[in-house]
Amino acid sequence: MKLGFIVLFVPDVETSVAFYERAFDVKRKVVTRAFGMLDTGTTTFAFGSEDNERQELGDAVTFRSNRRDVDPAGAQVSFIAGNVDAAYRRAVAAGAQPVVPPRQMPWGQTVSRVRDLHGVLVSIVSDPKL
């Protein structure tokens, strides 16, 4: 198997796609009212409409919406940047909430974190070269 998609459920797909384009310098592939995909490399990063997904799931399962006024979920989305400082500043200027400014880790990687429009934790890091 291989990882194919990461999907965040959001209240408005277009707004989320536009934010990620501005904040993280990625380009849209497909955007509809219910679903949007970004060109982020080998794994597809996408957004699904919360309302559409709740209809799709029915009574099978419920999920907590991501919002800035609550603690983030125990997961994060990570973007690898050539210049973490500049990418962090760009994200914050686009409306990301600063969490941890860029800092050098003992293993040599630069790591920073922000929260997106809906409170999802997003890391902006240098290539880990693992």
pLDDT (tens digit, 9 = 90+) per residue, 23-70?
Answer: 999 999 999 999 999 998 878 899 999 999 999 898 888 888 999 999
- Rounded to the nearest 5 degrees, what angle is found at the Cα of 125, between the Cα atoms of 68 and 37? 60
Q: Which domains does the chain have, with CATH numbers?
A: 5-125 (3.10.180.10)
In the predicted model, is pLDDT for residue 84 greater than 80? yes
Distance separating alpha carbons of residues 56 and 82, to the nearest angstrom: 39
Q: Rounded mean pLDDT of 6-14?
A: 96
How many residues are present in the chain?
130
Distance separating alpha carbons of residues 92 and 102, to the nearest angstrom: 12
The mean of the pLDDT values for the chain is 94
Q: Rounded mean pLDDT of 101-115?
A: 96
pLDDT for the residue 130: 56
